[in-house]
Structure 1
Amino acid sequence: MPDDVHRQGKPITAISEGDSLTVTESISERDLLIYLGLTNDNNPLYIQNEYAKSLGHKKTIVPPILLSGIITSSVSKLLPGPGSEIVNLSANFIMPVYHDEIITFSFEVIKVDLMKEVVMISVEATNSQDERVLDSVVMARPPRQE
């Protein structure tokens, strides 16, 4: 059996400030139901249209943790990629994201710290009207080279 059976992401020495990535996603009803089942979060803002509308929203909104999940999975899968560890994440949720709304996440490496073996990645998410819905900064430890 080969030693390298799993793909590995970029090591820190292969990452540069300015490296970027764009991910487009939409949270479906199925995604939301899985989240609600896993967390037992029964906030009516996430599942009842009339309730959401009574609070001034167009319809039910996506839980912010699902947007954070898109960010962390993009780091884990793509930049730096498999083997990466999230060590810190901060996010500002600027506008609500609605179910089935298409969101574009733009990632950019803003700092590579070889001493601490981490990269800082800035993330901005926009909706289909090009309105900013989220700003985030992620600190990740890329997979170590052996």
Structure 2
Amino acid sequence: MIGKKRKLGRKIQDLKIGETFTTTSRVEDRDLLMYLGLTDDANPLYIQHDYATQTPFKQPVVPSVMLCGMASSIVSMHLPGPGSHIVEQQLSYPHPLYHYAEVRFHAEITDINQQEHQVILDMHGYDEEGKEVMKGKMTVIPPYEPTSMNAVSLENFY
């Protein structure tokens, strides 16, 4: 995206405990096929309806790592936003998410450590029925303040 100016996410001094971000997304075939193709993951539980119907799940499920990726994009794009980096995550997946489901993610800042330049996010995902499909914490380094607004390496960010 050279030539298009992008803003960095919010710096640590601009964040507050209790801030939240919520978004909803639908898992479509295209998303699943892109994930499976990228990772070369051919788990029949994810793609074979005939196999999945013979399991306790009764239908194909969305890979847990795909949910993690969706949560990661919330950090990268929204809270704190572009320039952020996840350094630790403790996530669990109490209920499966099924194909074509709508998932609602909710992220909340629960701690800010100025000295370590880190924030803790509680991250939760829910299906349409309100079942929790993902829960846990992410430790995130928010974007750093650039040293120079004219730095060549940051000409697309300011």
Normalised by the shorter chain, which TM-score bucket? over 0.9
Q: Structure 2 unaligned runs (5+)?
A: 147-158
> Aligned-pair distance for 1:145?
1.4
Match of 2:49 in 1: 49
Whether 2:113 is the aligned partner of 1:113: answer yes
- TM-score, normalized by length of structure 1? 0.94
Structure number, greater radius of gyration: 2
Deviations 1:30-57 (A, max 9, x none): 1111111111111000001121111121
Residue 7 of structure 1 aligns to a residue whose secondary structure is: coil
Deviations 1:91-134 (A, max 9, x none): 10101100110111111000000010000000111111111111
Alpha-carbon distance in structure 2 between the residues aligned to 1:107 and 1:10: 15
RMSD across aligned positions (CA): 1.2
Q: Which runs of 4+ in 1 moved over 2 A?
A: none
Match of 1:28 in 2: 28
Q: Structure 1 unaligned runs (5+)?
A: none
Q: How does 1:53-92 map to 2 (within 5 A)?
A: 53-92=53-92
Amino acid at match of 2:18: G
- TM-score, normalized by length of structure 2? 0.87
Alpha-carbon distance in structure 2 between the residues aligned to 1:66 and 1:112: 27
Identity of aligned residues (%): 34
Whether 2:14 is the aligned partner of 1:14: answer yes
